Amino acid sequence: MHNSSYPHPILAREGWPFIAIAIILALLVLFSAGWLWSLPFWLLALFVIQFFRDPPRAIPQTPGVVVSPADGRVVAVEAAHDPYAKRDALKISVFMNVFNVHSNRSPVNGRITHLEYFPGRFFNADLDKASLENERNALVLQTDDGHVVTAVQVAGLVARRILCYVEPGQSLQRGQRYGFIRFGSRVDVYLPPESQPRVAIGDRVSATTTLLADLPSQA
Any idea which residues carry the catalytic annotation? Answer: 185
Query: 114 exposed, middle or buried (CB, 10 Å; 0-12, 13-18, 19+)?
Result: middle
Q: Output the DSSP codes for 68-95.
A: -SSSEEEEEEEEEEETTTTEEEEEEEEE
CB 115, CB 164: distance < 8 Å:
yes
Phi, psi of 173 (to 5 degrees): -100, 145
CB 137, CB 164: distance < 8 Å:
yes
Separation of alpha carbons 173 and 178, rounded Å:
10
CB 66, CB 91: distance < 8 Å:
no
CB 183, CB 158: distance < 8 Å:
yes
